Amino acid sequence: MTATQTPSNEQPKTASDAGRRPYATVNPYTGETEKEFPFLGTNEIDGVVERAHAAFLEWRRRPVEERAQIVGRAAELMLERQDEFAALVTREMGKRIQEAAGEVQLAASILDYYAKNGPRFLEPRQIEVMKGEAVVENEPIGVILAIEPWNYPLYQVVRVAGPNLVLGNAILLKHAELNPQTALAIEKCFHDAGVPEGVYTNVFLAIPDVEQVIAHPHVEGVTLTGSERAGSSVASLAGKHLKKSVLELGGSDPFIVLDTDDLGRTVKAATMGRMQNTGQACIAAKRLIVPEDIYEPFVEGLKQAFSTFSPGDPSDPSTSLAPLSSEQAAKDLHAQIQDAIDKGATVVTGGGRPDHAGAFVEPTILTDVTPEMRAYNEELFGPAAVVYKVSNEDEAVELANNSRFGLGAAVFSSDVDRAKSVAERIEAGMVFVNQPTGSSAELPFGGVKRSGYGRELSELGMFEFANRRLVRVLPTKKADKPQAG
């Protein structure tokens, strides 16, 4: 039984709970509230953590191959339920139905990756020593709190849950308030696959109660994907209570064009990199940096590409532009765009809200953006691109690195060696050459600077919440042989 499946008409558990906003499915296309769920009462939190810890103690003793088999079954179930998951994601955060189906497939592939490779990753590793032997063993550490966002509500969860469940940890998931039904569907998928009650638990946790969970002695770590503000708060709480933390925060990824022998293909890549998930991706191409000799045709090509997007129902496969996740998100993005316009930026296309019901913002291209504008320094989380003109390679690198973020980046050139050389100069956790920044199970994901710390996915993702225990063995001194006679 999940900790948070009680009906929405239930009264607050304590006086301090009164007035907190419940989790709710609010369709960003229609604006209708479909269903509400109450938060977990503060007086219930310790019990949930204790049950997770008890479940962890049993789960960790199961053979890793058994844990991996269960995670693999969850991958199969997720694919079997693709239509259900995709429809939930579309209704709760507005993702186009095709992209939602693609996210289901990506999430399942991550679970499958760890099911197949996790046991091998966790094998003990010998260390060469001069005498005796030394082995590093990989052991789970306990209950992990995962605080996950709404923009990729399946993918973000499984990139934490997959490796940690195979490792043997237990997960408490605090999903975004926008995604309650998706969160419950994920929990059911894991339980139906054979993950025991308590090993994976969805908690509709109110933000003020996060510290109570992190402070609990049976919670050993916390991971968050979200804003700088949320990351700073969680990192502070984790430090205060001496808990391991991993953060994946914002990004303002540069998309650097050094040269091109196919302008149309480069513009298409930039459009895809900026407009994926209606621009609501940490690793979306947000700052397009283009040399002056192709700047004007590039901007014109981008304008034509952006003009093909039109708002519509995200559940309709023919829709090209989905709403943002909420009306507030649309208002926030529009305020950033308007700030740039008010301070002198040039609007190539877009810049406003379309005359259409729903949380839409027009696909927008801004040029002549300068440091005093919010669009220069802040992450634009939606369908808005900023294009910069540079005169040479060094200027492109300097502009790309002139950001407090350092998540991903892309470098495009017909000369791959040149692109790789520039990639080595970019301050980012991930740099992609001749393709937009992306993600897959085998590639480590994470950033530097104010984009956070730690890595998820790949083999590296197995070890952020592992005890890499050293076992050092020295030979005993052989006893002297007895003398004859």
- Token couple for 96: 């186009």
pLDDT of residue 477: 75
**Strand, helix or coil for residue 285:** strand
Question: Which one from 92, 148, 177, 248 is the annotated catalytic residue?
Answer: 248
Question: Which one from 103, 282, 362, 456 is the annotated catalytic residue?
Answer: 282
The region, left, alpha or beta by phi > 0 then psi within -120 to 50, assigned to residue 216 is beta
pLDDT of residue 20: 56
pLDDT of residue 22: 85
Domains of the chain: residue spans and CATH: 19-249+451-470 (3.40.605.10), 253-433 (3.40.309.10)
- Token couple for 265: 């293909």
Active site residue 189: no
Tell me the pTM. 0.93
Q: Quick check: 419 and 315 in contact, CB under 8 A? A: no
Alpha carbon distance 225, 460 (integer Å): 17
Rg (CA), the chain: 25
Collect the ranges in the chain with pLDDT lower than 70.
1-21, 478-485
Q: Quick check: 325 and 280 in contact, CB under 8 A? A: yes
pLDDT of residue 7: 33
Active site residue 282: yes
pLDDT of residue 397: 98
pLDDT of residue 323: 98
DSSP annotation string for 220-258: EEEEEES-HHHHHHHHHHHHHTT-EEEEE----EEEEE-
Q: Quick check: 359 and 351 in contact, CB under 8 A? A: no
pLDDT of residue 168: 98
pLDDT of residue 362: 98
DSSP summary character for residue 178: T
